[in-house]
């Protein structure tokens, strides 16, 4: 008989240990009102507390010969039973596994062990493995580590995190709903095999191929833009980074060459707030809808400009066609004069002056353009000559634009875009039949979307020493690769017109900046500019000193260091945008400078994720090969040659498959054997024999 209290503590739960129909003892848990706890074994023949008279006690729980779980503690066994899974534990805690009789497990084919998240839990599992391997060296033993457990957590804590009101003792039908989740985790746990002739190592999980990124802080946004961005993120259920960075690129394209910033106190180094960015994510992550929402205020300005031109420019359009006809007629007269000068009755100099005057009038009639999605370099130069403050290139799929730069006949396009990033380049395009097009200030902001796979391939090219290694990728300083949204939920709320109205007001104001109105300094030559306040200047000095010292001292991939090196101009660009977007005038404040520095810290984490594939290409390739193994596309006895000839993305060469196989061999997934042939040797893959065996159906 188990007492209802023990040393002032009340009985909470007891568990009976049986051999057949005979109860050999019990374990009881007591708790006091002050939170004291005690687990007391009752195994003596006189019914009192104490260790078992028979030192080899049977296990607590039930077994399934196909698949049984081993956990630590009776409470955990009960939880596994509620999940609908067979489970056992031994009596006496983590240090007493070797003192129990494990004969119940003799005929079990597959054993899953779930350790507690502490050192004693690890020792308990190691002892259990030793016992189970001695019983049957050929059985399948798998260790399932629950990564999201807190320190000292167990399977009960894992369930309580998903069913918070469950106390761990009472039966609850809801727990069975968690079985598919646990089954899914178990499919990817690592295997343990006895040291037999095969001598296979542990089958371990691969490290994450991409590093973590910082969580986006809405405080980085301009104040009047924040409500609109938050509303769009909630509506789309997408990462906030997608809208935030696209909005900053849109603002940069609007400010353009209207005003720049001179970050240093004395030098004349000028920075045009021109930004390039991209959203990186899978097709289901709402990259394009987020981009469209972010650009909506800018597109509204473009739409208004088009409508105004149509309404107010009808007479000008009519005059345009007349001038076009006159110019054509005058040019024919000149052509006729030089072919038949004896019959001509015109003054060629006078005709030339008339053509120049008419063309000058023609230049004055142009609609304001804010963006384009596709244009030749010649057309872009023409557009920029009529829109000297700059424009935006908006691409739904950025990879298409990047591929265009690699086509035959577009060799000069890449250089043009590289020069356009600074916002102060000059371009001349001379074409027979079209004359000369001159642009005094090439200023292009760019934004688009791209999927991780194509991006990683491009990163490899851009860091491999060919034409991709010219710094084009490093100019996409607002490129973000956020984690997918978790816990998606259905949202259908009415839009807040005030939020959009505030955002539109920011764009409307920046569209018609006045250097004089914002307190900009107008030099004799060059663009109007703002400087930092004294506090902001000191912050910039400290920040840029730290940046440059880190970059110079770091032993990291040159491509990443080149990217971070460009932050020296990114930070003041962001500070200027934030300062003007928040409606401030005069020198750029320390508040804007501090927020810009925070932006750079946030963007650095994304840059590290983007360039990770060039820092550890073997790990990237290993994950690709692992997926093919898990899908069954790669089997034992396949050769390296057969594998790379499949043409799988990221595994298209013998070298890539070899370095991937080397990593997987390190983590116990496979072995590669060299077989001599009459020709070149063949390298054969042999997979781990337990890779990857799921929990048997029905358990």
Tokens of 412: 């000069």
| 212 vs 677: CA distance, rounded Å | 45
Place of tokens 């066609």: 321
Domain assignment of residue 10, yes or no: yes
Residues 343, 294: one domain? no
Residues 122, 138: one domain? yes
Domain assignment of residue 694, yes or no: no
Domain assignment of residue 692, yes or no: no
For residue 56, what pLDDT is reported?
A: 66
For residue 234, what pLDDT is reported?
A: 94
- How far does the chain reach from its first CA to its final CA, in angstroms? 35
Domain assignment of residue 90, yes or no: yes
Task: Write out the residue range of the structural domain in which residue 142 sits.
Answer: 55-192
Closest CA to 281 of 247, 252, 245: 245
CB of 180 within 8 A of CB of 90?
A: no
- Overall number of domains in the chain: 5
Residues 245, 345: one domain? no
From the CA atom positions of the chain, what is the Rg in Å? 35
Strand partners, 442: 425
Residues 598, 663: one domain? no
Model pLDDT for residues 560-600, shown as the tens digit of each residue: 999 999 999 999 999 999 999 999 999 999 999 999 999 99
Model pLDDT for residues 400-444, shown as the tens digit of each residue: 898 888 777 777 888 889 989 988 876 655 554 555 566 777 899
Domain boundary among 564, 580, 612: 612
Residues 602, 649: one domain? no
Domain assignment of residue 695, yes or no: no
For residue 168, what pLDDT is reported?
A: 87
For residue 133, what pLDDT is reported?
A: 84
Domain assignment of residue 587, yes or no: yes
Strand partners, 88: 61, 70
Closest CA to 82 of 185, 195, 205, 166: 166
CB of 153 within 8 A of CB of 125?
A: no
For residue 196, what pLDDT is reported?
A: 43
In the chain, the largest separation of any two C-alpha atoms, in whole Å, equals 138
Q: Which residues contact 262 (CB under 8 A, 6 or more apart)?
A: 268, 269, 270, 271, 529, 530, 531
Residues 160, 111: one domain? yes
Domain assignment of residue 202, yes or no: no
Residues 512, 476: one domain? yes
For residue 427, what pLDDT is reported?
A: 62
The helices-and-strands tally (H runs, E runs) of the chain is 22, 23
306: helix, coil or strand? Answer: helix
For residue 468, what pLDDT is reported?
A: 47
Residues 462, 564: one domain? yes
CB of 480 within 8 A of CB of 243?
A: no
Tokens of 364: 């004055």
| 439 vs 429: CA distance, rounded Å | 9
User: DSSP letter at 639?
Assistant: B
698: helix, coil or strand? Answer: coil
548: helix, coil or strand? Answer: helix
| 237 vs 244: CA distance, rounded Å | 14
Residues 412, 546: one domain? yes
Domain assignment of residue 634, yes or no: yes
Residue 71, domain CATH: 3.40.1360.10
Backbone angles phi, psi at 676, to 5 degrees: -75, 140
Q: How far is CA 692 from the centre of its chain?
A: 28
229: helix, coil or strand? Answer: helix
For residue 197, what pLDDT is reported?
A: 45
Residues 626, 606: one domain? no
In order of 109, 226, 268, 424, 442, the CA distances from 419 in angstroms are 66, 32, 19, 8, 7
Residues 459, 522: one domain? yes
Kindly list the averaged pLDDT for each block of 10 residues, start to end, along the chain of length 699: 86 86 86 87 69 67 91 93 92 83 89 89 88 81 83 91 89 88 75 56 79 94 97 95 98 96 95 96 91 96 87 68 85 80 74 81 72 88 88 92 81 86 71 58 93 83 62 94 89 91 97 93 92 97 95 88 94 98 97 97 96 82 90 86 88 89 89 81 84 55
For residue 378, what pLDDT is reported?
A: 84
Residues 459, 565: one domain? yes
């Amino acid at each position: 008989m188990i007492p209802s209290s023990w040393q002032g503590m009340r009985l909470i739960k007891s568990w009976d240990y049986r051999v057949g129909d005979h109860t050999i003892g019990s374990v009881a848990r007591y708790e006091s009102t002050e939170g004291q706890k005690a687990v007391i074994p009752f195994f003596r023949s006189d019914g009192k507390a104490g260790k078992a008279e028979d030192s080899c006690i049977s296990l607590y729980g039930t077994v399934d010969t196909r698949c049984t779980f081993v956990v630590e503690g009776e409470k955990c066994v009960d939880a596994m039973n509620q999940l609908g899974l067979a489970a056992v534990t031994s009596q006496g805690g983590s240090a007493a596994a070797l003192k129990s009789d494990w004969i119940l497990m003799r005929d079990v084919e597959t054993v899953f062990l779930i350790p507690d998240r502490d050192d004693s839990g690890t020792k308990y599992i190691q002892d259990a493995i030793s016992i189970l391997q001695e019983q049957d060296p050929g059985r399948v033993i798998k260790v399932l580590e629950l990564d999201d457990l807190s320190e000292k957590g167990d399977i009960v804590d894992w369930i309580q995190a998903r069913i918070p009101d469950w106390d761990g003792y009472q039966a609850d039908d809801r727990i069975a709903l968690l079985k598919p989740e646990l089954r899914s985790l178990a499919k990817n746990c690592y295997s343990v095999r006895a040291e037999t002739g095969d001598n296979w190592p542990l089958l371990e999980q691969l490290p994450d191929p991409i590093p973590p990124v910082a969580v986006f802080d809405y405080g980085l946004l301009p104040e009047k833009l924040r409500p609109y961005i938050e509303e769009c993120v909630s509506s789309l259920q997408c990462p906030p980074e997608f809208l935030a960075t696209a909005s900053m690129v849109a603002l940069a394209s609007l400010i353009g060459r209207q005003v720049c910033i001179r970050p240093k106190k004395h030098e004349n180094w000028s920075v045009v707030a021109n930004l390039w960015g991209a959203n990186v994510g899978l097709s289901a992550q709402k990259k394009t809808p987020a981009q469209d929402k972010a650009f909506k205020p800018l597109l509204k300005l473009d739409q208004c400009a088009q409508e105004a031109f149509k309404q107010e420019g009808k007479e000008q359009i009519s005059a345009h066609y007349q001038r076009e006809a006159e110019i054509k007629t005058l040019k024919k007269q000149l052509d006729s004069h030089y072919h038949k000068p004896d019959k001509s009755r015109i003054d060629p100099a006078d005709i030339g002056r008339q053509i120049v005057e008419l063309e000058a009038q023609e230049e004055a009639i142009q609609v304001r353009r804010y963006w384009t999605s596709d244009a030749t370099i010649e057309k872009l130069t023409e557009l920029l000559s009529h829109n000297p403050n700059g424009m935006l290139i908006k691409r739904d799929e950025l990879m298409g634009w990047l591929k265009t730069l690699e086509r035959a006949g577009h060799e000069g396009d890449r250089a043009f875009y590289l020069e356009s990033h600074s916002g102060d380049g000059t371009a001349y395009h001379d074409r027979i039949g079209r004359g000369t097009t001159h642009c005094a200030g090439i200023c292009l902001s760019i934004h688009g979307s791209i999927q991780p796979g194509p991006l990683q391939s491009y990163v490899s090219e851009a860091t491999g020493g060919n034409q991709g290694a010219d710094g084009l990728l490093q100019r996409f300083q607002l490129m973000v690769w956020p984690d997918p949204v978790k816990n998606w939920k259905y949202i259908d709320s009415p839009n807040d017109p005030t939020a959009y109205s505030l955002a539109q007001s920011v764009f409307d104001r920046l569209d018609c900046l006045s250097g004089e109105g914002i307190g900009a300094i107008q030099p004799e030559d060059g663009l109007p500019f703002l400087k930092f306040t004294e506090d902001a200047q000191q912050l910039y000095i400290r920040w840029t000193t730290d940046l440059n010292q880190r970059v110079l001292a770091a032993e990291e991939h040159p491509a990443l260091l080149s990217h971070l090196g460009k932050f020296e101009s990114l930070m003041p660009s962001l500070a200027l945008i934030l300062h003007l977007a928040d409606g401030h005038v005069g020198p750029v404040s320390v508040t804007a400078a501090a927020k810009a520095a925070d932006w750079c810290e946030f963007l650095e984490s994304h840059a590290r994720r983007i360039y990770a594939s060039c820092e550890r290409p073997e790990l990237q390739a290993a994950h690709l090969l692992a997926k093919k193994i898990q899908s069954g596309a790669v089997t034992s006895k396949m050769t390296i040659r057969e594998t790379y000839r499949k043409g799988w993305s990221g595994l298209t060469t013998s070298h890539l498959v070899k370095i991937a196989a080397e990593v997987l061999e390190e983590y116990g997934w496979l072995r590669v054997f060299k077989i001599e042939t009459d020709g070149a040797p063949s390298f054969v893959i042999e997979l781990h024999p337990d890779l990857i065996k799921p929990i048997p159906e029905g358990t």
